Chain A
Amino acid sequence: MKRIGVFVCHCGINIAGTVDVERVAREAEKMPGVAFAMDYIYMCSEPGQLLVREKIKEEKLDAVIIAACSPNLHESTFRAAAEEAGLNPWQCEIANIREQCSWIHSDRKKATEKAIKIVGTIVGKIRLNESLEPISVSITKKALVIGGGIAGIQAALDIADSGYPVILVEKDSSIGGHMAQLSETFPTLDCSQCILTPKMVAVGKHPNITLMTYSEIEEVSGYVGNFKVKIRRKATSVNWSTCTGCGLCTEKCPAKVPSEFDRGLTTRGAIYVPFPQAVPNKPVIDRDNCIYYKTGKCKLCEKVCEIGAIDFDQEDLIIEEEIGAIITATGYETLPIADLPHYGAGEVPDVIDGLAFERILSASGPTTGEVRRPSDGMIPKEVVFVQCAGSRDPERFKPYCSKICCMYTTKHALLYKHRVHDGQPYVFYIDIRTGGKGYEEFYHNAEEEEGIVYLRGKVAKIFRDGDKTVVWGTDTLTGRNIEIAADLVVLATAIVPTESTAELANKLRIQTGPNGFLSEAHPKLRPVECINAGFFIAGVGQGPKDIPETVAQASGAACKVISLFSRDHLEQDPTVAWVDEDLCSGCRTCISVCPYDAREYDEEKEIVTVNEALCEGCGSCVAACSCGATQQRNLSDSQIKSMVTASLGGE
């Protein structure tokens, strides 16, 4: 019989605070097969790991159980330690007595009993564990980056610069994202487009980057190192390979559509380039608004295009690519003002959001940087900035802080004051949050030197009264209600994930959190990886953040991809399904239940085999197999039976 060692971790007070760890060790020692048991304060520390290695040798252990935290955290740590001491890594198992026991219970006696049972189940399992070898799989050294904002741009450039090919997919016709819309950036006030466009051009020219704009992800299958991705290239209705980007068609188009790029402050044609610095600088026809597609008449763009690049019959193309790693950088939208009924529900023309004000401030914007309000073009003399419009409001809107608004509102008020010297900006805020290099100084200067009035309190209601926009708020520092008859109101609306994030996350099978942002594998230590291997995230799609943080995260994700590609083979967990060929009747039920297409019918042998590279070890086919031919390695029927027995208190 195997000689099993059990090591019970205190995890400081994380486990020992609720579970009597010494007793767990004493009880474990009595379990059949257990030759040795002990407890230690931090099993994962170097001295803790050393203990495990020493005891394996001293006690001549054949298998070890670490009763500690979730296997997600330290299974690989302890398997490596076991291997160093000469054991097969699959003779090391984790008994999770933290997440599944001490953290969720408060009754010490009951928690201790439960911890003993959890250890018991793993003892029951490990007695029958086989020694396994990892499955080796090859890697396609090509990355996919989804989203062409600053996060996607940075990640694509970093990977491409290290020599690996990258496909950058963007749903709009140009890359650039929201950063291209911004006027100047805090806290240094450098022009956003000036620092962004060189990077956009670099993406367009990079020999290792294949840029696919106006494209969306259709389907993703496969696994780390070996994804198969279908990309839909939406019909642009313009032959981009011949189009010179002269812009004549966009000038002549008679349709008038509110410009998304200018936040509806200007209009564009149905054939359009979103902004002059677009990469690629090629137009697309927005078929929903094109007069020809709606009425069958017009084709003015076709008439003016001398090259004949307009192609009304173009169809969507599906392109299949083999990919090794995927970075998702889907970015954000802002909560529509229409969702804020107390702030005019989008019906008051001089209530705009922060991005619209960016366009008004921008030298390339609709007013060439002169501050003029949308309703009548007047230069506003009193401007109210409302922070947390939809953020930090768990009862009605979003519970979280949108993080960037304190800084960009300060920037807005400052830039406004610089352009309209006799104007008065007011800022309503809940708290001013200026964590970041140079941020507090920036705010301090704005408040102390620039005459911006900060009012601590929330705004209750905004409505139009004549040509004024009236703001009702409270100054909680003086306890007074405030009414301001403003000329313009700018709302710092909550940052929300893009509409397509949920659907895309579903296709990729990656996780999102309660507010729809993409979830990282660990909030502190694995901030750019998803739980699923081969998937990485960057930018505001993961949570509100500013440009420096976004760029840092994107470079981090790129480095993770580069480090993955630096290997020639990947090692995959061998605890997958296998088939007893003598028992398999070839009924193929397993094929219908496998979510990973890992089961294949062998015509010759008339049995169903397992593709070990595709199998994720989910166990669906094992449960579905009626004749018991399919088993999972190190999780056989007899192992499960002895685990159930142990969990019920039997032996």
Chain B
Amino acid sequence: MAKVAYYPGCALNERSSHLDRSARDATEILGFELDELESWTCCGAVPPVSKERIMNLIAPSRILKDVRDSGRDMLITICDFCYNTLKRTNFSIRNDDIIRKRVNAFLADDTPSRTYLEEDTTPWSDYEGEVKVVHLMEYLRDELGYAEITKKLKRSLKGLKIAPYYGCVMLRPFDEIQLDNPENPTIMEDFVRALEAEPVKYPYRTECCGSYLSVSSPDASTRLCYRILSSAMKNGADAIVVSCPLCFYNLDSRQKVVLDAYPDFKTIPVFYFTQLLSLALGVETDRQGFERHYVDVSPALEKIGNSGEGDKA
């Protein structure tokens, strides 16, 4: 089976490990393996929100360099924040001579301390952005092709109206990410269609969920989440699909607070895109970790028949 280097990132390794599992389950059925890096650190997750030019690029550059040194040229992530961090780091290294030199100087500097990597005898060479950073959804669209997924569906999601939520970091800044039109994207809608569900378009799909404000000023995040979730429901959505663990946390767990703050609010299930994918490919419902969601997903599952047995099988 083909292997693609895979960077899970912290959230998917710990708090949201069920999402990581669904991704591995799904890709195995699709015929490739997410090959987790032998050793990796946190990507830092700060370049999107920090003005510092060098320090925050060191950790992601180290990860990317390790991928390159292991002889691979592509790295998959399934988290928007990791994707944004790694891809923008790569962009800076590729396009800015000064950043490239300074980052590599740091990387060269910390090599001696990394003696725990016994086989690391490769001669030093600067990391120049050789690795291509790919979001799993991007890989499915461009490398595998959405049509391939549809062919392998075991349990069509027909009848389910799903509202894709893009958030901010998956698409922006466009010059550096170049994944889809940041104002009028289609990659997630097309993904939902590949699973034979019906995508719901609503105006708040590219608005911010509050991101880290969830920690520092939760009220702001609550207000934003309320607007996003109710806009999706108003447009007929049965469920939301996201591709970022932080969006997932905000849009799912925060519904508890939204309920307190807005009496008219009704909850809506939130899925990670890998969960929908693995469900549709026939992976059992009880492997999805739905019990870890705040909002009960069963109303949505009932619409497609949640027996766990593929109706296409």
Contacts and interface: CB of A to CB of B under 8 A. Distances in A.
B289 interface: no
Nearest to A338: B184
Contacts of A466: 234
Interface of A: 341-342, 345, 461, 463-466, 470
Interface string B219-241: 00000000000010010000000
Interface in B253-294: none
Contact of A345 (B184, B231, B234): B184
A194 to B, nearest CB: 41
A496 to B, nearest CB: 19
Interface string B180-204: 0101100000000000000000010
B61 to A, nearest CB: 28
A461 B231 CA distance: 15
Interface in B40-86: none
Nearest to B202: A463
B184 A341 contact: yes
A341 B183 contact: yes
A351 to B, nearest CB: 12
A464 B203 contact: yes
Nearest to B174: A396
A342 B206 CA distance: 10
B183 A465 contact: no
Contacts of B183: 341-342, 345, 461
B309 to A, nearest CB: 39
Contact of B181 (A341, A463, A465, A470): A341
Nearest to B175: A395
What 5 A-B pairs have minimum CB-CB distances, sorted nearest first? A463-B203, A341-B184, A341-B183, A342-B183, A345-B184
B30 to A, nearest CB: 31
Contacts of A341: 181, 183-184
A345 B181 CA distance: 11
A341 B205 CA distance: 13
A465 B233 CA distance: 12
Contacts, number: 16
B203 A465 contact: yes
Nearest to B185: A341
A622 B181 CA distance: 52
16 contacts: A341-B181, A341-B183, A341-B184, A342-B183, A342-B184, A345-B183, A345-B184, A461-B183, A461-B203, A463-B203, A464-B203, A465-B203, A465-B231, A465-B234, A466-B234, A470-B203
Contacts of A342: 183-184
Contacts of A461: 183, 203
Contacts of B181: 341
A71 B184 CA distance: 51
A453 B181 CA distance: 33
Nearest to A470: B203
A463 B184 CA distance: 11
Nearest to B184: A341
B15 to A, nearest CB: 32
A464 B234 CA distance: 12
Nearest to B182: A341
A342 B207 CA distance: 12
Contacts of A465: 203, 231, 234
A466 B183 CA distance: 20
Given A341-B184, A465-B231, A470-B203, 11 more contacts: A341-B183, A342-B183, A342-B184, A345-B183, A345-B184, A461-B183, A461-B203, A463-B203, A464-B203, A465-B203, A466-B234
Contacts of B234: 465-466
Contacts of A464: 203
Nearest to B201: A347
B202 to A, nearest CB: 8
B287 to A, nearest CB: 37
A189 to B, nearest CB: 36
A464 to B, nearest CB: 7
Interface string B159-183: 0000000000000000000000101
Contacts of B184: 341-342, 345
Nearest to B235: A465
B286 to A, nearest CB: 39
A466 B234 CA distance: 9
A345 B206 CA distance: 14
B262 to A, nearest CB: 17
Contacts of B231: 465
A345 B231 CA distance: 19
B93 to A, nearest CB: 23
Nearest to A345: B184
Nearest to B181: A341
Contacts of A470: 203
Contacts of B203: 461, 463-465, 470
A464 B203 CA distance: 7
A495 B203 CA distance: 27
A44 to B, nearest CB: 47
A397 to B, nearest CB: 12
Nearest to B205: A463
A342 B203 CA distance: 10
A470 B231 CA distance: 13
Nearest to A463: B203
A473 to B, nearest CB: 15
A342 B171 CA distance: 14
A470 to B, nearest CB: 7
A335 to B, nearest CB: 15
Nearest to B231: A465
A342 B234 CA distance: 20
A465 B203 CA distance: 8
B62 to A, nearest CB: 32
Contacts of A463: 203
Nearest to B204: A463
A341 B203 CA distance: 12
A376 to B, nearest CB: 18
A341 to B, nearest CB: 3
A462 to B, nearest CB: 9
B216 to A, nearest CB: 20
A465 B207 CA distance: 15
A470 B234 CA distance: 15
Nearest to B206: A461
A341 B181 CA distance: 8
B43 to A, nearest CB: 28
B210 to A, nearest CB: 16
A470 B181 CA distance: 21
Nearest to A342: B183
Nearest to A465: B203
Interface in B8-52: none
A461 B184 CA distance: 11
A536 to B, nearest CB: 41
A134 to B, nearest CB: 55
A393 to B, nearest CB: 13
